[in-house]
Structure formats: C-alpha cells, structure tokens
Amino acid sequence: MTTVQANPDISRSFKEIVTQNGFKFEEHLVTTKDGYILHMFRIPGLQSEGETNGAKKVIYFQHGILDSADCWIMHKSQFAPAFIASRAGYDVWLGNTRGNKYSKDHQGSISNYDRWNYDFEVMGDLDITAEIEYALKVTGQKKLAYIGHSQGTSQMYYALSHNEDFFAERVSVFVALGPVMQLTHCKSSLINFFATFESLIVNSASLIGFYEFFPAGWVTTGAMRLLCGTIPQLCEFGLYLITDEDPSLNDADRTPVYLGHFPSGTSLRSLDHYGQILNSKRFQRMDYGSSKNKQIYGENTAPLINLQNIKKVPIAMFVGTSDQLATVEDNRWAKTQLSTLTHYKEYALGHLSFMIAKDMSYFTTDVMNILHQYHPAN
C-alpha cells in the first residue's frame, strides 16, 4: 500500500515558505490611528541578493475576506504572485487586515464588540492608509502599486471614491483581482445566506456576544461551535465558505495547501455588509437603520459608494468567468462606472483561482505587463 505524504507547505508558516523558496523575509508592525496593530510581511528580494532597501519599486498586496497574506504564496514558487513580483525586481509588501489571524492585537483596552466592529470601509479608511504610508516611509519610495483580491478590492474602491487625493499621491496603479463591488448577481452560498437571514444571524451572534466569524481553526473554536449549534446551516458550507469553487480550474496539489491556511477570520459586520449590498442591489455603505444612518450620514438610507468619483488612479480589472462571488455580470456593470479603467479582461478563473489556478498566465503575463507599464521595476 502506497502512503501519500501531505505537502509540508500545508503546515509551514509564512516565513518558512518564503525562506525555503530562497527569498528574504521581514515582519513589520503597523499601528492604525484607532490602535489596531497590523502585521505586515515583506519580501525584499532573493536571499542571493545584496542589500537593496530603498532601491526597488514597491508592490503592496492586499488579501480578501476571511484570508491573510498567506494567499499570495500558496501556489508553487514559479506561480505564486508574491514570488513572481519579487523575482521581477519589486520590493513586495503584504498586508493583513485587522481581525485576521495575524492582526488581532490592539494597543489599548477595547470591548469585544468594539474590537470586531469593522468592515471594508474601516479597512479602507484606516488599515490600508496606515500600511501604505508605512511601506513608503521605510523604503523611501514615493509611490507603490496596489494589488487587491476580493475584499482587498472593495476597500480600495471605497477608499478611492471618497479619499482619492490621498491615494493618487501614493498609488501608481490599482490592480483588482476578483473585484467585489455591487453583488446583484452574486451566487456565493455564504453571502446569500447572510443576505437572507441577516436578522437571525446578527441577533443570534449578539445574544451570545460573538462577533468573530470563521477564525483560523474555526471548526474547533468553542464560540463558533456554539453559533453553529444555533444556526447549523451557517456551518454546512464547509470548505466552500464564500466562493463555491470549480475545483477543475485549480491546481489539485495546491488546493490542500491553500485550505491549510484558510480561513483566517473576519468580523460579523464584514459579512453583514456584503449581505446588505446583495439585498440592496447597489454598492453602498453600511446600513445601520434609519435612525443611526441619519446620525452618521445625515440621511435615512445608506449612501451609495459612487465609483464615478474616481478620476485619477488607473485601474486594471481581472474578472473570473467562474467566479461565484465577484461575477462577470456585476463586474461588467462596474466597468461602465469607472472612468480610469485601463484594463478589463475576463478569464476562466474562479474566486480562489487567482491564487492557485492551473493557468496563472493572467498574472505572469497580463498583471506583469500592467506593472511594467504603470509601475516599472528599476
């Protein structure tokens, strides 16, 4: 009988995968204006290189919902986006949003409710601004290229729509992979479940004081088991979680590696916000109810996130034809709203395929061409 050995990358740390593939690794702590301590990872180059600090152009990678910086190095070394960028001569920085397995700390005393009271708007206002400023300060570079996936695109679209001057001074190009804005045609089981049973989920979670969803090791997390006992359907999605992948598109050897590092946790509010967007059929800000909306926004309804406000930062969109979360239909709508769109193409990819596809030419060829055009390596 032949014994199948599990891929060691399933249990390796981010640092171990990076260094064992011949790259340098650094970890940096970045504190946001509201006190969250975010762990940023840096791949400054190959171990065979000399000192290069400040000499290379910076690329900043931002992961999606329930994910972490791990996603960018889950594929084989020659296909992992972070490694491709590093070999091409870029200084690679990778963010970890508040609340994921790497960025749970806070510098002050904070209640459990307040700790998890965030969504992609807060990340766009506070997390990516702090991480971008930090990376540019350390390297001495004036601008960086931003590559986001899933929620990593939502937070940048939101940020650009109302604070574009800040980013226009610091971001040379925004590469959006599996872009998530309007969710009218979303087929994701988890997001649709949130949209259908929003009140039940929010009320049940509030009753037991549990606001962290699908943390790393969630199957064995006591509080998550309690919530699953209250709403069993919530946890029946198992490995599908948000994306309902077509496994035939992905590298079968790397799928277990990816799932060994996923999920990494998010907040109830983050999932709830996407459920609201699906229900409202518009890309909108968080809906707190008419009374609180009036206090926060000055109007009873949650305002639209207006993509037509984006006038300066070039945007390149990469859309998967088998993506059940960021669908072709919704992204074709988004395409009509963006005046700075420089690239739009649909690929035979699912939502997670952007990390572990059999065919990664979308990145090795097309993304790299965009980078060479708008943010060439030195």
What residues are labeled active site? 150, 323, 351
Tokens representing 179 are: 């872009």
Coil vs helix vs strand at 168: helix
173 phi, psi to nearest 5 deg: -160, 145
Calpha distance 267→56 (Å, rounded):
35
Strands 171-177, 144-149: parallel, antiparallel or unpaired by DSSP? parallel
Tokens representing 103 are: 């960025």
**C-alpha pair distances (Å), 362 with each of 80, 99, 297, 331:** 12, 30, 40, 17
Strands 212-213, 266-267: parallel, antiparallel or unpaired by DSSP? antiparallel
- The answer to whether the beta carbons of residues 176 and 156 sit under 8 Å apart is yes
Can you name the residues that pair with 59 across neighbouring β-strands? 92, 145
Among residues 307, 296, 310, the alpha carbon closest in space to that of 117 is found at 296
Residue 129 parent element (H or E): helix 128-139
Burial class from Cβ neighbours inside 10 Å (0-12, 13-18, 19+) for residue 344 reads middle
